[in-house]
Structure 1
């Protein structure tokens, strides 16, 4: 079984995201109707720079709920089941994950932790185990099929698969949830694999919608200090005053 490689692809996002967020903010503070304002926004009567500037000013006040109207969808592959178990704890999101019940895992790929990869004897032991696990999966699947389980053999054989087994998943989150996700998962205290994925997602969005994501990242980036306390700080930012 080969080692998998992380890939993150932005599939799609809400059309006219800046205009939509601007219209939502304006609706909060204006007696007018956002539906009447909308054609002027998408036709450019109000410039994109003006819209973005207004959004940035309101966000500075802490009012950020209107950014929930915009969402983005990502396709991710080359991640472990260990990562996806962490990921789905972010509940204001939608997930569609590759099923081990229906997908044959006879030649499953796996994620190799860097700390193991750096130590030759650890890497060999790890890769030997993955090979043994793959053989066990194939043996169990064949035995189950011989005893009448047919296509359902996958759902029982999968119980031997490790957390390292590679998975593919589609993720959709709104902007507010994404910012919260980045605050937690871009932090140095986050587990290395989900942190790597989070930074790749953020890099894509920083280009796609900079008015919202150019300052996103770990909480210390927004706060200007580390909120984790002396025991947990990575030392890159001063502690909370």
Structure 2
């Protein structure tokens, strides 16, 4: 799996601060932007307003990621976060090259790994055979498994990114999409560490664990 940040809103802290101040100021957004306090004070205001639930100010900042070699099972989970934009590699137009994601629980066990490889290799062979028979890629793809790799571009505003990360960074989330969001957070941190600190499991926002089976990171309510 490879995740790369390919585009984002310049000066995200300034953008969020100006949006926040505009809500409570008689000045225009442009005027607010010309008289900025220190970055420390901007961050403090942003944190306070977010803690009050005024998270719409985060929507003015967006991040676009290149996401490669994740499974179709993972991408199906990802696109359930609907307040985002996705452009995904099409199985209708792009021929599969027989690359699959093998879950660690299967990879660790020899017999399970052998069975998995036998099944997915057989499915890929059937896919190729259908193509050789003249079946179109859009129909032959029906035999491909959820393990098939895919590439996509994902764009999210920061409000949705915080929400998605709060669910997917939880230790109870599925391993592959949790790994994806761990990589997303690392990419964001390379550009703006303060913004990355907002990407945490939901228990860190709530102050307690709402899950029935807690990992112990925060106390249960």
Query: Matched residue pairs, number?
Result: 221
Does the 8 A contact of 2:98 with 2:121 survive in 1? no
Does the 8 A contact of 2:55 with 2:159 survive in 1? yes
Aligned equivalent of 1:143: 133
- Deviation, structure 1 residue 18: 1.1
Does the 8 A contact of 2:162 with 2:198 survive in 1? no
Aligned equivalent of 1:120: 110
One of 79, 94, 100 as aligned partner of 1:88: 79
User: TM-score, with normalisation over the residues of structure 2?
Assistant: 0.94
Aligned ranges 1:38-187 → 2 under 5 Å = 38-41=33-36, 46-105=37-96, 107-144=97-134, 153-187=136-170
| Structure 2: distance between partners of 1:15 and 1:216 | 18
Does the 8 A contact of 2:8 with 2:63 survive in 1? yes
| Structure 1: distance between partners of 2:49 and 2:120 | 52
Please identify runs of 4+ aligned residues in structure 1 that moved more than 6 A.
none
- Say yes or no: does 1:197 pair with 2:180: yes
Does the 8 A contact of 1:56 with 1:211 survive in 2? no
| Unmatched segments (≥5 aa) in structure 1 | 1-5
User: TM-score, with normalisation over the residues of structure 1?
Assistant: 0.87
> Secondary structure of 1:29's partner?
coil
> Secondary structure of 1:25's partner?
helix
Aligned equivalent of 1:15: 10
Higher-Rg member (1/2): 1
| Unmatched segments (≥5 aa) in structure 2 | none
